[in-house]
Structure 1
Amino acid sequence: MAKHAKSLLSRWSSRVFLVEVDEKPLYFRLQARHGGERAPQVFGQLRQEDRCFSVLVCTGDRIKGAKFYPQLRDKLSKELPPGCDLTTMGSFLPRVRDSFIRGYFLKSSAEYSAHVERLLRDLVRREPLLVCSYAAGGGGGQAWTQRLWSPSEDETVSDYFVVSSDEPECHPSALSMINNDVFYSFEEARDVFRKCGDVIPEAASVLEMLPGSAGVSQKPLFPVVVLEGLDATGKTTLTESLRETLGAALLRSPPDCLSPWRALFDREPPLIRRAFYALGNYITAQQIAQEGMKTPVIVDRFWHSTAAYAIATATGGPVSNLPGEGSEVYSWPGDLLRPSLVLLLTLDAEERKRRLKDRGLEKTDEEQKLDCNQLFRLRVEEAYRRISGPPCVTVDASPSADKVLQQTLLLIRSNCHL
């Protein structure tokens, strides 16, 4: 940790911090002198005697950091005294890739601040953490200071005043999204699984399923059509109908060979979970290449789903928090087989909920999030639309199944010359 911490501390005063409040990020930065500015919004409702703390995960080991981050929340939730407020936060260097680090922000009343400080002092001695305390420095509670707790006894860290910071163009998690939340190469995703084998034995079984490399020897002779969309938009019905009508092979991502481990990796943190789904896409790509030499191929979900859900989950808040259109995060991986056509089934939110209820199936965590969080659903849908190379062609899934099939066949025949 020491080497990684030193690299962070070398530019500490240049970092910007954000605290998520009701999915709205509130930003503040550091400066050596107070110029009479009002306290950042996150400190606005606190009494002068209250204390705040930030706890940021600081480790150069991506696997350890990914596993420890949710564990830290559980530990803090259990051991903090009642009345303490705990929310997610992060810190980043503006426009610097891979500079985003995650953690938690704690608000404590004066009566519990000593208890909280003892808890955090104990944690920082044992875990890869950077901890800061915040206190009002006079001026009627308008001047708040940050004190970074020294990660080693021989270091002195200065106090800084905290002041509001402008909101960046998109959520700063985008700075560290590439090959962390969204994978753009087979090697990067496989490397995650190789490194997590010590803590997740089942990773070895997944590695055994992988092709030797991402590349396919020949481009499929027949068209490859991918069906995308949220659950209950009619993908399963449509893919089966297309298979029968076109005499096509039907494949799914993640592929059936990964089914024994899907539930396990769905419970893992985003880095590992997204790597699992990325590897599933590469296995499916090999299957597509083989089947596509003999017949048209219909694929139930592929890279668009993997990327759209990951991007939407990582950003939070309104659609405006997404990386802008044209961002590299929406670019198709260079080593992944490209389909001939991608169709995105869309459906009114209330109708989709009704269909889900009628199906009566158990929902994944992300599906439950789609139901209760409109902002998340909007981010997912917009991320789908922004992915390029190949882009999604939207299909209205609200008419009858037969009409949707006919509409889809027209698109396939006009775009794929079938």
Structure 2
Amino acid sequence: MSRRAMSLLLLPQWSSRVFLVELGGEPVYFSIQEKSRGKEVSRVFRNVQNNDRCYSVLVCGGDRIERAKFYAELKQKLLRELPKECDLSPMSSFLPNVKDSLLKGYFLKDTSPSASLSERVLREFVQHEPVLVCSYLRGEDGQQWTQKCLWKESDNRAVEMSKDFCVVPSEAPEFHPATLNIINSDVFYNFEEACEVLKESADIIPEATSVLELLPSRVEARSKPDFPVIVIEGLDATGKTTLTESLKNALGATLLRSPPQCLSPLRARFDREPPLFRRAFYAVGNYITAEAIGQEGMKTPVIVDRFWHSTAAYAIATAVSGPVCNLPAEGSEVYRWPTDLLQPSLVVLLTLDPEERKRRLRDRGQGETAEEQELDHNQLFRLKVEEAYHRISGPACVTVDASPPADQVLQQVLLLIRGKCHL
């Protein structure tokens, strides 16, 4: 077992952890204690039948690259090996309000007739994979549940932790656990951190080397270029392409996009990768675009089709489960602009009624990314993306209704530009 996993099982730290299980998209929390104090049964176990067995599998070994890669593969590994009667729910474990203490994995409910196959598979996992497995047992009173941990000794035998813990309900923490793990994991706030992930992942993603070859040797925070830089943000089918082309012509501006064209051949590859690698890819795309902005902005105004707001808003909304209120509070450091990334003069966020946006997408007939597909069938995800957009500062977005005809939207945005950028 890795040193990281062994350190987790030191009793004071392990018993201080809180566990989160996503049941139907809603986070349910429980904790553990050495003795039962007569608390009610955690909601995680209320619908578990007498013959069902419950387990958790948490990824805890290896470095951050190995953990990200293994977690991305874990669900398929479990579904492939475990009985078909096993239900999997996303799960995590964390120390409340402690940054970078998050462990991710799955909660398993096995309704198969016999526990032997699940037990054998999970013991094999403990011996050969970077995971910590716990079983959950119903007490003699039929109510109280206990947690028993398994780990791997030096001779590769799976053994049980001698200490059992009672499972009790827990209140939601002050901060959703994912919010304490966002910085330089789901969202990158400086060039070096994003580059480091690509360098570390080059062994498993050869295309990462191609991305690194396109990057500037260094990035420095700088003042804005001579001409204004206007970023147009919004969900797909809100009219960004039409508006940016029209602004380019109306202002005699240079039109740039993020991610930049040079990364287009690699997007599909990184969109298939775990969030850590995918987010680093899009982060460095912003810095490549910023280099072009700095050069072109010395000669003409610059219009940018999406920039850091999109990168951050989608990442934050994906990382934080549950309702909008689980997002980091307005003013949180996760919404701050990276100190080494060129800041635009104005950011316009195009908004559109969801049904009208869907109609435009159907009419357009173009393919969507997985995240755009999620926007279409998951209203909650869309609301979180939109709210994250509004909370990002440095600069904040100015919202513009994109439902009027394109020429009216153009005139409204031109008025904004003339008022704020003096063009």
Compute the TM-score of the two structures, normalised by the length of structure 1: 0.97
Tell me the CA shift for residue 67 of structure 1. Answer: 1.1
Tell me the CA shift for residue 308 of structure 1. Answer: 0.3
SS at the partner of 2:115?
A: helix
Do structure 1's residue 105 and structure 2's residue 107 form an aligned pair? yes
Shifted more, 264-273 versus 150-159: the winner is 150-159
Tell me which of 84, 108, 123 is aligned to 2:125: 123
Shifted more, 230-239 versus 43-52: the winner is 43-52
Q: Deviations over 1:104-143 (max 9, x none)?
A: 0100136232211100111111110000000101222x20
Match of 2:44 in 1: 42
**Paired positions, count:** 417
Match of 2:227 in 1: 222
CA distance in structure 1 between the aligned counterparts of 2:401 and 2:355, rounded to whole angstroms: 14
SS at the partner of 2:113?
A: helix
Do structure 1's residue 328 and structure 2's residue 368 form an aligned pair? no
Give the conservation status (yes or no) of the 8 Å contact 1:318–1:375: yes
Tell me the CA shift for residue 217 of structure 1. Answer: 5.7
Match of 1:82 in 2: 84
Tell me which of 401, 405, 417 is aligned to 1:400: 405
Give the conservation status (yes or no) of the 8 Å contact 1:177–1:329: yes
Match of 1:62 in 2: 64
Match of 1:381 in 2: 386
The 5 A counterparts of 1:81-230 are 81-109=83-111, 111-140=113-142, 142-152=143-153, 156-215=161-220, 219-230=224-235
Tell me the CA shift for residue 48 of structure 1. Answer: 3.3
Match of 1:6 in 2: 6
Match of 2:422 in 1: 417
- Give the counterpart letter for 2:133 in structure 1: V
Do structure 1's residue 364 and structure 2's residue 388 form an aligned pair? no
Give the conservation status (yes or no) of the 8 Å contact 2:82–2:118: yes
- Give the counterpart letter for 2:147 in structure 1: Q
Q: Return closer, same or farther for 1:23/1:170 CA change in 2, 3 Å cut-off.
A: farther
CA distance in structure 2 between the aligned counterparts of 1:60 and 1:329, rounded to whole angstroms: 26
Give the conservation status (yes or no) of the 8 Å contact 1:50–1:109: yes
Q: Deviations over 1:320-359 (max 9, x none)?
A: 1111111111111111111011110000000000000000
SS at the partner of 2:334?
A: helix
Identity %: 65
Q: Deviations over 1:170-224 (max 9, x none)?
A: 4211111110000001000000010111111111110000011121665300100
CA distance in structure 2 between the aligned counterparts of 1:49 and 1:385, rounded to whole angstroms: 48
Give the conservation status (yes or no) of the 8 Å contact 1:50–1:135: no
Q: Deviations over 1:282-314 (max 9, x none)?
A: 000000000001110000000000000000000
Tell me the CA shift for residue 75 of structure 1. Answer: 1.1
Match of 1:236 in 2: 241
- Give the counterpart letter for 2:289 in structure 1: T
Tell me the CA shift for residue 261 of structure 1. Answer: 0.5
CA distance in structure 1 between the aligned counterparts of 2:355 and 2:197, rounded to whole angstroms: 38
Give the conservation status (yes or no) of the 8 Å contact 1:49–1:136: no
CA distance in structure 1 between the aligned counterparts of 2:116 and 2:160, rounded to whole angstroms: 23
Unaligned runs of 5+ in 2: none
Tell me the CA shift for residue 46 of structure 1. Answer: 1.1
Q: Deviations over 1:244-289 (max 9, x none)?
A: 0000000000000111101100100000000000000000000000
Tell me the CA shift for residue 70 of structure 1. Answer: 2.0
Tell me the CA shift for residue 49 of structure 1. Answer: 3.5
Shifted more, 95-104 versus 142-151: the winner is 142-151
Give the conservation status (yes or no) of the 8 Å contact 1:169–1:321: no
Tell me the CA shift for residue 395 of structure 1. Answer: 0.5
Give the conservation status (yes or no) of the 8 Å contact 1:143–1:161: yes
SS at the partner of 1:12?
A: helix
SS at the partner of 1:210?
A: coil
CA distance in structure 2 between the aligned counterparts of 1:69 and 1:165, rounded to whole angstroms: 25
Q: Deviations over 1:60-86 (max 9, x none)?
A: 411111111121100111222122111
SS at the partner of 1:244?
A: helix
SS at the partner of 1:399?
A: coil
CA distance in structure 2 between the aligned counterparts of 1:121 and 1:159, rounded to whole angstroms: 18
CA distance in structure 2 between the aligned counterparts of 1:118 and 1:5, rounded to whole angstroms: 21
CA distance in structure 2 between the aligned counterparts of 1:80 and 1:384, rounded to whole angstroms: 40
Give the conservation status (yes or no) of the 8 Å contact 1:56–1:102: yes
Tell me the CA shift for residue 22 of structure 1. Answer: 1.2
- Give the counterpart letter for 1:376 in structure 2: F
CA distance in structure 2 between the aligned counterparts of 1:260 and 1:410, rounded to whole angstroms: 37
CA distance in structure 2 between the aligned counterparts of 1:187 and 1:138, rounded to whole angstroms: 55
SS at the partner of 1:251?
A: strand
CA distance in structure 1 between the aligned counterparts of 2:32 and 2:59, rounded to whole angstroms: 19
Give the conservation status (yes or no) of the 8 Å contact 1:170–1:320: no
Tell me the CA shift for residue 7 of structure 1. Answer: 2.9
CA distance in structure 2 between the aligned counterparts of 1:372 and 1:109, rounded to whole angstroms: 30
Q: Return closer, same or farther for 1:170/1:354 CA change in 2, 3 Å cut-off.
A: farther
